Structure 1
Amino acid sequence: MSEDATDPIVMEALEWFVRMRDETVTAADRQAFETWLAADDAHLAAWKHAQALWARFDIMQPEFDRLRRGRSPLSRRNLMLGGIALLGGSAGLYTFSRPGLFAEYTTDIGERRTVRLQDGSSVELGSYSALSTFFSGTERRIEFYRGEGFFDVSSDPRRAFLVHAGGGTTRALGTKFDLKFVEDVVTVAVSEHAVQVETESLSTLRLEQGWQVSYGLAGLGQPTEASLDAVEAWRSDRIVFQDVPLRRVLAELERYRRGRIILMSDGIGDIPVTAIFETKHAENALQTIADTLGIRLLNAANYVTLVYRVS
C-alpha cells in the first residue's frame, strides 16, 4: 500500500477498520459500516486490504501496547491507525531504533545547544541532532549521526578535523561550515574558508566559502552557490525552503515536532515548496503547507501524521 493509500476508498477502509475495533463502537457505527461496505465492490476490496495489514500490525502489538501505556492521551483508535499506516505506508515498517542512540552529544526535539570541544572548536547542534567525538594525537574525528550542526574549527596543523556523516567525510581546512544529515542525504555549506568533501566512492572535491554540496545514495552532487542566510536560518529558530521538494520539507519538519510524518504518495513528494517558518511552530507550518498545496493530513494523536493527496 504505497500509491493506493492515496485512494480515498483505501483511506476510508482504514478509518472504518480502526473504528470497528474501538471499544467505543456503537450499533449505529456498525450499521453505517455495513451500509458503506455494501455500497461498492471497491469498498469490500479495500476492507480486505485493511484486514491484511492488521495481520502484520498484530505482530507488533506488544510494542505498541508498551507505547500506549506510556502515553495515556493516545487512544486505542489512534494507536491502531498509526500502526497500520506505518506498516502499509511508503515509509515501510518503522523500527524503534534511532541513529546515535548512545551518542556523546544530543539535542531533543526543538532544542539547540552549543558544545565546546576539547580542542577549542565548537559546534552548535540543531534540533534532534547527535554526534560523538574521537580525538587522538593524529586526528580529530566527529561521527555525526543525525540532524544539523554548525562547526567553528580551531586551527591545529598536526591534527586533521574530520566529520564523518553518512557515506562521506568532510575535512575542515581552517573553516566554519554547516553540515546537515537528514533522510540519508548530507549537505555541507561553507561559511568561511573551505572544506574537502570525500565520499566512500572516493569522489572528492574542495568546497569554497559560499558554496554547498550534497551527497547520498546517488553519490556526490555538483556544488552550487549557497544562500548562507537561508542555510543558517535554523540558528535563529527559522527554517527556509526555496523550491525544496515536499518529501524533503516533511523530513525537515519531522525534526521539529513529536511523531512521524509519513508521505503516503510518492506522486506528491516532488511538489516544490518555498516558504519561511518558525521552528517553534512546526505544527502550524505543516498545516499551512497542506492548505496551500491542497493535500490532506490525517493525524493520529502525537504518534503519526499521514500526508496524502486530496481526491
Structure 2
Amino acid sequence: MKPTESDGDPAERAAREATGWFVRLNNPLATDDDRRAFRAWLDADPAHAEAIGQTRDLWDRLEAPANRLGASGWHREIAPPRRRKRRASAIAAALLAAGFACLAIWRDVGLIDRAFADHATRPGERLDVVLSDGTRLFLDGDSALDASFAPAARDVTLLRGRAWFDVTPDAARPFIVHAGAIEARAVGAGFAVDRAGGSVIVDQGSALVTAKVGRPVSLAANQRAALAADGALEPPSAVNPDVALAWRRGLIVLDAAPLADVATELARLEPGRLLIPDPKLAALRLSGVFRADDPDAIVEAMRAGLGLKTVSLPGVATVIYR
C-alpha cells in the first residue's frame, strides 16, 4: 500500500507496525500464517528489522523510563501550534502501543526469540520437525532454534527452551548444537539439549559436550552432562531416559524439584508467569507426575501438598504466597 500523508515518516510507521506485530504474535491463537506474514513483513524492508530491534531496546530500558524521558528533554520541545494536538495524540498512541507490547513481552519473555527463529513453539505447544538432512527434532513448549547446514557441518542454535534430536549419521558433517554456554557435537545420536538448564542427555549413540571453560565431556547412552556453578561441565552422570525425557511423551516428572524449577516448567506449559516473591517458598520442593496439557494440576499440587495460596490473572501471571 502506498503511504499517505497521514502515515507520517516511514520510520515511525515501521515502529507502529513492529509494535503491532509483537502484540499479534503474542496472541495464543496466533497461527503459522501469522508467522509467515510476519516473515514477509520483516523481509519487505530493512527498516522493519531495525524497528523490531528498537522495540527490543525499549523493553530492555523499561527499568527507568521516567528518568530517561526527563533527561531527553522531549517535553520541553516547542511545536508549532497547529501540530501540538497532533503530536500529543501521536505520543499518546505510541505510549499505549508500547505499553501493550511491553506487557506482551513481560508475560511471554520468549516472544522475541520465537519471532525470529526457523522453528519455534509457543508455551503449551510441542512440535516434530524433520530437517533437510533427515534429522528429526522435537521441540518442547516455549522453544526456538535456527538451523544452518553447510557442506562441512550441520549447525543448530537453540535460542531458548529444549529440544531432542535424532541425528542422521553423516561422518563428513558433524551435527553441532549451540545452546548458550554449551555445545553438543554428534555424528549419529539421539540426545536432548536444555538451554535454560545448561544440560545434555544422550539416550542413544554418543555425543561430545563442551563448555566455555573446562574440559569437554564425552557422553554415552543414558548419560547426562550439565554446567556447574563455575561454568565448567560436571562429570557425566547416569540417567533414566524414560524419566529424564518424559517431556517428550507429554509428561512432567518432578522429583523433589524446587519451586523455582517448577516455575520454569510451568512457563513451558502455558502463557504467563509464575511469581514466587518469597525466596523461602521458592526453595520448597514438589514431587509428582503431571500431564503437560494440565498445568493447573501442578498449581493445585502446590496448594494442596505444600499449603500455599495463589492469585491469578489468567494468561498473565500467577502469584504464589502463604
State the TM-score, normalizing by the size of structure 1. Answer: 0.67
Q: Deviations over 1:205-243 (max 9, x none)?
A: 101111112227642233221121112212221111112
Quote how far apart the aligned CAs of 1:95 are.
6.6
> Take 1:96 and 1:232, find their aligned partners in 2: how far apart are those partners?
22
Identity, % of aligned positions: 25
Query: Residue 148 of structure 2 aligns to a residue in which SS?
Result: strand
Q: Tell me: CA distance 1:58–1:141, structure 2 relative to 1, closer, same or farther (3 Å).
A: closer
Query: Residue 119 of structure 1 aligns to a residue in which SS?
Result: coil
| Residue 116 of structure 1: aligned partner | 130
Q: Is residue 297 of structure 1 aligned with residue 322 of structure 2?
A: no
Q: Tell me: CA distance 1:202–1:58, structure 2 relative to 1, closer, same or farther (3 Å).
A: closer
Query: Superposition pairs for residues 276-291 of structure 1, below 5 Å?
Result: 276-291=289-304
Which amino acid is the alignment partner of residue 319 of structure 2?
L
Query: Residue 261 of structure 1 aligns to a residue in which SS?
Result: strand
| Residue 138 of structure 1: aligned partner | 152
Which amino acid is the alignment partner of residue 192 of structure 1?
Q
More helix by share: 2
Q: Which runs of 4+ in 1 moved over 4 A?
A: 56-61, 67-70, 93-97
Query: Superposition pairs for residues 157-236 of structure 1, below 5 Å?
Result: 157-182=171-196, 185-215=197-227, 218-219=230-231, 220-236=233-249
Aligned length: 233
Which amino acid is the alignment partner of residue 294 of structure 2?
H
Q: Is residue 260 of structure 1 aligned with residue 273 of structure 2?
A: yes
Query: Residue 280 of structure 1 aligns to a residue in which SS?
Result: coil
> Take 1:188 and 1:214, find their aligned partners in 2: how far apart are those partners?
6
- Larger relative contact order (CA 8 Å, sep ≥ 6): 1
> Take 2:120 and 2:108, find their aligned partners in 1: how far apart are those partners?
21
Q: Deviations over 1:112-157 (max 9, x none)?
A: 2211111111101111111010111111000001122110001111
| Residue 152 of structure 1: aligned partner | 166
| Residue 52 of structure 1: aligned partner | none
In 2, are the aligned partners of 1:110 and 1:280 still within 8 Å (CA)?
yes
In 2, are the aligned partners of 1:197 and 1:207 still within 8 Å (CA)?
yes
Q: Which runs of 5+ in 2 are unaligned?
A: 1-62, 67-93
In 1, are the aligned partners of 2:183 and 2:209 still within 8 Å (CA)?
yes
Q: Tell me: CA distance 1:273–1:173, structure 2 relative to 1, closer, same or farther (3 Å).
A: farther
Q: Tell me: CA distance 1:96–1:139, structure 2 relative to 1, closer, same or farther (3 Å).
A: closer
Which amino acid is the alignment partner of residue 272 of structure 1?
R
Quote how far apart the aligned CAs of 1:180 are.
1.8
Q: Tell me: CA distance 1:279–1:196, structure 2 relative to 1, closer, same or farther (3 Å).
A: same
> Take 1:169 and 1:133, find their aligned partners in 2: how far apart are those partners?
14
> Take 1:180 and 1:69, find their aligned partners in 2: how far apart are those partners?
26
Q: CA RMSD in A?
A: 3.0
State the TM-score, normalizing by the size of structure 2. Answer: 0.65
Q: Which runs of 5+ in 1 are unaligned?
A: 1-55, 71-82, 87-92
